[in-house]
Amino acid sequence: MTSDSPQAVSNSARIGPFYVTQGIHNLRDYGGYAVPGEGRVRTGVLLRSGQHMEASDGDLALLEKLDIRTVIDLRGTSEREGFPCRRHANFAAQVIAYDGETTNSPPHEGGGGQIVMTAEKARERMLAVYTRMPVNPAMIWVFREYFNALDANEGGSLVHCFAGKDRTGIAASLLLHVLGVHHDDVVGEFLLTNEAPTRAILERQSLPRMEAHYGTIPPDALHNLMGVLPEYIETYIAKVTADHGSLDAYLETILGVDGPRKERLRAKLVA
């Protein structure tokens, strides 16, 4: 993908869609995908990542260059207080966050009960996260605000959570679906997390707490906890479809993304 935004930093600071960072995991552009017709989702305006607690001064300078006007922080109150984001001195973006908890300590953050963590146990626990997410009132609120902000605000946006892969992955996937991106490309973007060149950052931030909770975690289990699998997003969609008939029905009736809003978002975010 190449950027069509005048605010985007040069490709020398990129590895594919990923920005080169020292303390932020999985910072990437989730634009550039084709939609029906000849359009593509705009690049340089839709960004996603993990938390920014360990952002270096260089990382903050990079974010400043990206001219982000809206930050959607999908973390709950305790996560934000325990892992406060560093900000550039000139930071002036609107920050949207939920007043309360958005998750009950997901497995990749060292929660969910003490067990011997195997690859299958890790997979099962992550699938449970994706089964709960569509009906979690806090996540419904924050996803609605995500779409409200994208509709109302101009300029670039950044959506992030703790690891930048589950809550953030679903937020990005929902938007790409709304913009008309093919399902295969939506899943492909979701799976790009596994190619992030900053896995060491996430391990530094998460692994000590996880190992204190679970003990030594084998590599295949760690992949299921710190990465993503296709069935994670498919589980989310299956739950939504079972409860509401379709993903589009859920978007309209639960998240407030009706036909007119879809058209406005496509007009703004597809070029």
Q: What is the pLDDT of residues 242-271, one digit of tens each?
A: 999 999 999 999 999 999 999 999 999 999
Q: Is the pLDDT of residue 40 over 50?
A: yes
Q: What is the mean pLDDT of residues 60-77?
A: 96
Q: What is the mean pLDDT of the chain?
A: 92
Q: What is the mean pLDDT of residues 29-37?
A: 97
Residue 159's beta-bridge partner residues? 48, 72
Task: Please state, as a whole number, how many other Cβ atoms lie within 10 Å of the Cβ of residue 218.
Answer: 12
Q: Is the pLDDT of residue 115 over 80?
A: no
For 192-244, the pLDDT digits (tens) are: 999 999 999 999 999 998 898 888 999 999 999 999 999 999 999 999 999 99
Residue of 155, 189, 195, 168 lying closest to 49 (CA atoms): 168
Q: Is the pLDDT of residue 44 over 50?
A: yes
- pLDDT for the residue 105: 63
In angstroms, the CA 58 to CA 86 distance is 12
Residue by residue, DSSP assigns 163-182 as SSSSHHHHHHHHHHHHHT--
Residue 53, phi-psi category: left (phi > 0), alpha (psi -120 to 50), beta (remainder) = alpha
Q: What is the DSSP letter of 31?
A: -
CA dist 37 → 99, 127, 183, 264 (Å): 40, 35, 16, 17
With pLDDT > 90 as the criterion, what percentage of the chain qualifies? 87
β 18-19/46-49 pair status? unpaired
Q: Is the pLDDT of residue 112 over 90?
A: no
CA dist 180 → 31, 83, 226 (Å): 12, 35, 28
Q: What is the mean pLDDT of residues 82-93?
A: 97
Residue 70 in contact with residue 149, Cβ under 8 Å? Answer: yes
- pLDDT for the residue 110: 58
Q: Is the pLDDT of residue 6 over 60?
A: no
For 127-179, the pLDDT digits (tens) are: 999 999 999 999 999 999 999 999 999 999 999 999 999 999 999 999 999 99
In angstroms, the CA 40 to CA 51 distance is 28
- pLDDT for the residue 109: 61
- pLDDT for the residue 196: 97
Helix (H) or strand (E) holding 266: helix 259-269
Domain 11-269 is of which CATH architecture? Alpha-Beta Complex (3.90)
